[in-house]
Amino acid sequence: MAFRTQVFVTRSDVAVVKGLSSGKPELVGIYDSLGKEISR
């Protein structure tokens, strides 16, 4: 998992995606700046 430090001060949302290197991207989840999952 990679993240930018700014996510904690900008109140940005983060999308976690797996399978990029295999060419089969899949959304794992979307999280707020505190790490809580946002419902889909």
Nearest to 7 by CA among 27, 30, 39: 30
Q: 5 Cβ partners below 8 Å, 6+ apart?
A: none
Does residue 9 carry a pLDDT above 70? no
Distances (CA, A) of 5 to 23, 24, 27, 34: 27, 27, 21, 12
Q: What is the pTM of this model?
A: 0.62
Q: Is 7 helix (H, G, I), strand (E, B) or coil?
A: helix
User: What is the pLDDT of the chain when averaged over all its residues?
Assistant: 82
Element (H, E) at 26: strand 26-31
